[in-house]
């Protein structure tokens, strides 16, 4: 971790040079401002990284993964199969090498829990405006990664840029464009309400969100210190009206520690085992409840109403027009959180309705476990 931290002066220098650099060589505009609360990115390297990770995981999990005896020019890897044009032999080799590297080094690691992957992801985000990561062409683009990884990524980059990135970037931008009006209209209010509920402050700086074609198995994840969110634009669970909830659910990971601490404290006082994931069920429940009134049709900006005219199941709305929270729609409660839902409805909801205090609500939940 220190190795990366010592690079911050360099990153700062890069940031200061940025306006000049982007004037000299116009980059794809990766930041969609000015929105309140969030800073939404569609960054090249983060997308390449998650695409390689996705490909490597699929290869590791697929029983026929080692049958690379296929001599055709068709990519044997499932993600790259979406490429519009066939890969040349050179491209195929660069891509295969990169995937093989990811299989060996990263495929068995979790994007959320591996410090190595977390630091790599953040570093790639910080260098999103660079064409390459070695610093060969521009000193400020030396991302400080290992020589082998730098070579792997720099070799896979043109292949990705030519065959998948245009579609991925378009999907990211579409996702961002759909959620942006809601963030603009409701973002500040929602962030204040959530911070209030969790008895904390919303971060002063905008939360960086990397929108990526692929993310982790859950379709989105959040890493702390610094607080950064990654959301998969191609994931069916993140579409339509639910996009806003996914954003605020993920951001809540950065501010809901008081809940986890309070649950743990109550459990210790009562000599009870700490319930696995109750805090997580609580933030799912809370975000859903806070989003609900915002998503009632009369509050939806026009752009969203247009998009919600598509088949109802896609936009997170119930046949009656009410918003169905993510955890309900994705069946999270039925898959083992049913008891938590009962606790939350009975003891946490009154707190959300201002009928009891934070401490009392947590104490009641824990005592009923
Ligand atoms: Zn979560």
Using the mean position of ligand 1's atoms as its centre, give its distance from the Cα of residue 26 in Å. 36
Using the mean position of ligand 1's atoms as its centre, give its distance from the Cα of residue 245 in Å. 11
Which range of 33-47, 54-68, 220-234, 287-301 scores highest in mean pLDDT? It is 220-234
**Per-residue confidence (pLDDT) for residue 317, from 0 to 100:** 57
Per-residue pLDDT tens for 306-349?
Answer: 343 333 444 555 555 689 999 999 999 999 999 999 999 999 99
Looking up tokens 């020019």 gives 73
Residue 24 has pLDDT above 70, yes or no: no
Measuring CA to CA, how many Å separate 310 from each of 64, 117, 239, 315?
38, 37, 12, 8
Using the mean position of ligand 1's atoms as its centre, give its distance from the Cα of residue 248 in Å. 10
Mean pLDDT of the 108-133 span? 96
**Per-residue confidence (pLDDT) for residue 76, from 0 to 100:** 61
Mean pLDDT of the 290-297 span? 85
Tokens matching residue 315: 């936009």
Using the mean position of ligand 1's atoms as its centre, give its distance from the Cα of residue 302 in Å. 29
Burial class (CB in 10 A: 0-12, 13-18, 19+), 201: exposed
- CB distance 250 to 231 below 8 Å: yes
**Residues whose CB falls within 8 Å of the CB of residue 121, separated by 6 or more in sequence, listed in order:** 46, 49, 111, 210, 223, 228, 230
Using the mean position of ligand 1's atoms as its centre, give its distance from the Cα of residue 310 in Å. 27
Using the mean position of ligand 1's atoms as its centre, give its distance from the Cα of residue 249 in Å. 6
Using the mean position of ligand 1's atoms as its centre, give its distance from the Cα of residue 279 in Å. 10
Using the mean position of ligand 1's atoms as its centre, give its distance from the Cα of residue 362 in Å. 19
**Per-residue confidence (pLDDT) for residue 295, from 0 to 100:** 86
Residue 272 has pLDDT above 70, yes or no: yes
Rounded distance between C-alpha atoms, residue 129 and residue 132, angstroms? 9
Residue 304 has pLDDT above 60, yes or no: no
Using the mean position of ligand 1's atoms as its centre, give its distance from the Cα of residue 280 in Å. 6
Using the mean position of ligand 1's atoms as its centre, give its distance from the Cα of residue 355 in Å. 26
Using the mean position of ligand 1's atoms as its centre, give its distance from the Cα of residue 217 in Å. 12
Using the mean position of ligand 1's atoms as its centre, give its distance from the Cα of residue 112 in Å. 11
3-state helix, strand, coil in the chain (%, to 5): 60, 5, 35
**Per-residue confidence (pLDDT) for residue 316, from 0 to 100:** 55
Using the mean position of ligand 1's atoms as its centre, give its distance from the Cα of residue 194 in Å. 14
Using the mean position of ligand 1's atoms as its centre, give its distance from the Cα of residue 349 in Å. 19
**Per-residue confidence (pLDDT) for residue 257, from 0 to 100:** 92
- Element holding 256 (H helix, E strand): none
Give 174's DSSP letter. Answer: H
Which range of 57-66, 67-76, 140-149 scores highest in mean pLDDT? It is 140-149
Using the mean position of ligand 1's atoms as its centre, give its distance from the Cα of residue 299 in Å. 26
Mean pLDDT of the 343-362 span? 98
Per-residue pLDDT tens for 186-243?
Answer: 999 999 999 999 999 999 999 999 999 999 999 999 999 999 999 999 999 999 889 9
**Per-residue confidence (pLDDT) for residue 15, from 0 to 100:** 39
Using the mean position of ligand 1's atoms as its centre, give its distance from the Cα of residue 253 in Å. 6
Using the mean position of ligand 1's atoms as its centre, give its distance from the Cα of residue 284 in Å. 7
Q: Output the pTM of the full model.
A: 0.84
Using the mean position of ligand 1's atoms as its centre, give its distance from the Cα of residue 191 in Å. 16
The values of phi and psi at residue 87, to 5°, are: -80, 145
Q: What is the mean pLDDT of the chain?
A: 84
For every residue of 69-112, DSSP letters joined together read T--SSS-SSTTGGG-SSPPPHHHHHHHHHHHHHHHHHTTTS-TT
- Confidence label for 82 from pLDDT (cuts 50, 70 and 90): confident
Using the mean position of ligand 1's atoms as its centre, give its distance from the Cα of residue 256 in Å. 10
Could you tell me which residue, 79 or 165, shows the higher pLDDT?
Answer: 165
């Amino acid at each position: 971790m220190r190795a990366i931290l010592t690079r911050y002066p360099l990153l700062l220098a890069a940031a200061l040079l940025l306006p000049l650099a982007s004037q000299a060589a116009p980059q794809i505009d990766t930041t969609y401002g000015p929105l309140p609360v969030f800073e939404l990115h569609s960054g090249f390297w983060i997308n390449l990284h998650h695409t390689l990770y996705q490909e490597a995981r699929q290869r590791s999990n697929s029983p026929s993964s080692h049958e690379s005896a296929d001599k055709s020019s068709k990519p044997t890897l499932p993600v790259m199969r979406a490429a519009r044009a066939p890969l040349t032999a050179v491209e195929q080799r660069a891509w295969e090498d990169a995937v093989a590297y990811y299989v060996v080094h990263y495929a068995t690691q979790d994007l959320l829990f591996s410090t190595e992957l977390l630091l790599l992801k953040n570093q790639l985000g910080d260098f999103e405006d660079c064409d390459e990561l070695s610093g060969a062409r521009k000193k400020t683009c030396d991302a400080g990664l290992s020589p082998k990884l730098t070579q792997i990524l720099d070799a896979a980059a043109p292949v990705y840029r030519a065959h998948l990135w245009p579609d991925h970037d378009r999907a990211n931008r579409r996702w961002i464009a759909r959620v942006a009006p809601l963030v603009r209209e409701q973002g500040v209010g929602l962030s204040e309400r959530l911070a209030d509920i969790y008895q904390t402050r919303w971060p002063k700086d905008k939360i960086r969100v990397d929108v990526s074609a692929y993310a982790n198995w859950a379709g989105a994840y959040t890493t702390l210190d610094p607080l950064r969110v990654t959301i998969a634009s191609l994931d069916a669970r993140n579409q339509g009206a639910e996009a806003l909830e996914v954003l605020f659910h993920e951001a809540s990971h950065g501010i809901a520690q008081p809940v986890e601490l309070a649950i743990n404290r109550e459990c210790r006082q009562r000599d009870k085992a700490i319930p696995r994931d109750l805090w997580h069920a609580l933030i799912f429940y809370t975000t859903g409840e806070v989003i609900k009134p915002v998503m009632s049709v009369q509050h939806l900006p026009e752009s969203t109403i247009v998009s919600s005219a598509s088949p109802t199941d896609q936009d997170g709305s119930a046949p009656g027009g009410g918003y169905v929270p993510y955890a309900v729609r994705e069946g999270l409660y039925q898959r083992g959180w049913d008891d938590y839902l009962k606790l939350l409805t009975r003891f946490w909801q009154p707190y959300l309705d201002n009928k009891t205090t934070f401490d009392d609500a947590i104490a009641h939940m824990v005592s009923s476990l």
